[in-house]
Structure 1
């Protein structure tokens, strides 16, 4: 989901990266499993009861966005910066997630706030290193995340807090796609339009849910009009797969925006809005970028094949099932989890196939 172009940036210290693979990757996997388990419990499924799963259900959004995705994005940014101190940010995210799971919400909120302050500092350094439109937008995404975590620490557990967290992820993705549009000729209006949409998104997150939903729809339209994926979808192999992930994600982004408008107007579309955004849009971005990000951040190369389409198709189908009828919410949620688990297995298989291919060449 994070910077597809990180492999072009200077890598962080190799010893720190090895340490990150050994320590952070299993912790991230644990946070993802607990976040998904909590989501299944919230959907009414008979997940094995434990105090950890109960806390994961109660803190589902904070676990998934601030602990898991916060750690993933800040780890990528730490690699891009290449300084040891930057790796403290994903550690703080993981520590915040652990605090929530152990029933210490106040400590978790403070740890997340500390993480976002560090993350903002990292992005300031990156802007100083390369003052480009996409790095400035990435800094804005950090400030959105900081705003949401400050609200959490102040006890303001409201839709504005949740919208600020989602704005962090959505704007991060927008910044990465803005960087990629440098590879194609684009109309002069593209960048000013994006700035306007992102300003509306931030204003909506802070002040007005209806505006936030409209801005999500507008951003989906911007992606459809200007993103390079509409051209690369005609390619083959990994490039085509990534483009299909992106285009599918943009469709779910529009659905999420309409759902957000709906519940702002009093309609029962809140679950549809949250999961079209969190699963449909964000996890499509994860599936599309992971084959590029994993080699860049974790130094694990993967060999792409048609198996990658199976979890992507299951994710789309399960979301349609989940959102089509409230009676299918539990089944759809279980299949959502199955799609994520299948994607993890496909990635492991792809890494093993790459290793086997390299051994056969040597």
Structure 2
């Protein structure tokens, strides 16, 4: 395997992650009752894996492959792209499941190599997340149902994002040993995610998992420089606002999981799952997207105030979906909120493109 040096190669792998995102959003519309008889309606059963493994996992794998500069590191985004293709080609579930497990195993190796070069607790946190993702992909491949891998998938996204925040905000951990505290909480979260699906105490462990999510969110928020950056301007303020909103939704989702567990159904299940994956993960992706994409394609992505529009839609849609639809158990309100969040994600892509075109050649940040 040759090292992928050209921007075209990186762009192709980035497009695979983008395809997973679009496929996952399309699958969401099927689950909402739309597009049920279209050719791609079978993607509905792969909504979770496409969004978490294909989009989030594929993007992180690509980012780390660019950073590590080792030929074998490219195995992670390539395996993820193969998995995405397998889903769209309607391959048996074990095929994309195995490919994603390989992707996350290589990603774990990338973190190990980075730790060998310069050890840090931030890398341990992120490696814990990639280990959880290996188990999540294998569990999904075996069971064919994403709910069986839900806790592990949540653990992967939370640990990866929190680990990157610890890595980027290292100077804010000068007091109180907060970095060590967050690391211990993440490792406890991993243990709970691995053990939760097994045994008679499963529901109790899931509730502990929820409380740990709350603890991780609070500890990370206390240490994150976003609390100060939100008082600045332009891109730093935009990113900080998205991050603070994301931490808030993680607290809400953690409390919901602590109360209901992960084996719940219906509106309670929706609040637990999408509080994490939409409220926390997507908000954090909005916050970091200009930085991550800039690192991958080696070009500065400009800031434009229009980026706030999809942020407002995302969190407004979540308030409608979780705060009204789920709380009132009203299907129509829930469905409307869900559609707004889908529009928000698509809108973020559109505003990012608009921002890049309108500021071409100006180099604004």
Q: Same fold (TM over 0.5)?
A: yes
Q: Is the contact made by 1:16 and 1:84 (CA closer than 8 Å) also made in structure 2?
A: no
1:34-74, Cα deviation, whole Å (9 max, x unpaired)? 10010121122x2263342x222111111111111111000
- 2:49, 2:146 within 8 Å by CA — same for their partners in 1? no
Name the CA shift for 1:214/1:19 in 2 (closer, same or farther; >3 Å): same
Larger displacement relative to structure 2 (185-194 or 151-160): 151-160
Q: Distance in 2 between matches of 1:285 and 1:246?
A: 5
Q: Do residues 139 (structure 1) and 138 (structure 2) align? A: no
Q: Distance in 2 between matches of 1:25 and 1:140?
A: 24
Which of 344, 348, 357 pairs up with 2:349? 344
Shift of residue 144, structure 1, vs aligned partner: 1.1
Q: Which residue of 2 aligns with 1:196?
A: 184
Task: Decide whether the 8 Å contact of 1:302 with 1:352 is kept in 2.
Answer: no
Quote the residue 1:3 is aligned against: none
Do the aligned partners of 2:124 and 2:183 also contact (CA within 8 Å) in 1? no
Give the Cα–Cα distance (whole angstroms) in 2 for the partners of residues 142 and 49 of structure 1.
Answer: 36
2: distance between equivalents of 1:30 and 1:266?
A: 30
Q: 1:51-130, aligned counterparts within 5 Å?
A: 51-52=39-40, 54-104=41-91, 105-130=93-118
Match of 1:39 among 13, 16, 28: 28
Distance of 2:165 and 2:257 partners within structure 1: 23
1:237 Cα deviation (Å)? Answer: 1.3
Partner of 2:321: 322
Q: Deviations over 1:70-125 (max 9, x none)?
A: 11000001011112332221121121122223322121111112212222222211
> Aligned residue for 1:6?
none
Aligned partners of 1:85 and 1:42: how far apart in 2?
37
- Give 1:194-343 correspondences, 5 Å limit: 194-206=182-194, 207=196, 208-264=205-261, 268-323=267-322, 324-325=324-325, 326-327=330-331, 328-343=333-348
Deviations 1:223-263, CA, capped at 9 Å, x for gaps = 22211111111111111111101000000001111121232
> In 1, distance between residues paired with 2:257 and 2:206?
7
Aligned-pair distance for 1:160? 5.3
Alignment match, 1:19 = 9
Q: Deviations over 1:11-45 (max 9, x none)?
A: x9773433221x2233222221110010121122x
Cα distance in 1 for residues equivalent to 2:316 and 2:212: 26
Unaligned runs of 5+ in 1: 1-11
Contact 1:89–1:118 (CA under 8 A) maintained in structure 2: yes
Structure 2: segments with no counterpart, 5+ residues: 197-204
Distance in 2, matches of 1:83 and 1:193, equals 32
Which structure has more RCO (C-alpha within 8 Å, separation ≥ 6)?
Answer: 1
**Alpha-carbon distance in structure 2 between the residues aligned to 1:180 and 1:15:** 25
Q: RMSD of the alignment, in Å?
A: 2.2
Tell me, yes or no, if the aligned pair for 1:215 and 1:257 is still in contact at 8 Å.
Answer: yes
Deviation at 1:353, TM superposition (A): 2.6
TM-score (norm 1): 0.89
8 Å CA contact 1:249, 1:284 repeated in 2:
yes
Count of aligned positions: 345
Select the residue among 159, 164, 176 that pairs with 2:164: 176
Instruction: Map residues 153-164 of structure 1 onto 2, 5 A cutoff.
Output: 153-155=141-143, 157=145, 159=147, 161-164=149-152
Bigger drift between 245-254 and 111-120 goes to 111-120
Task: Give the SS at the match of 2:180.
Answer: helix
Q: Which runs of 4+ in 1 moved over 6 A?
A: none
**Other structure's SS at 2:359 match:** helix
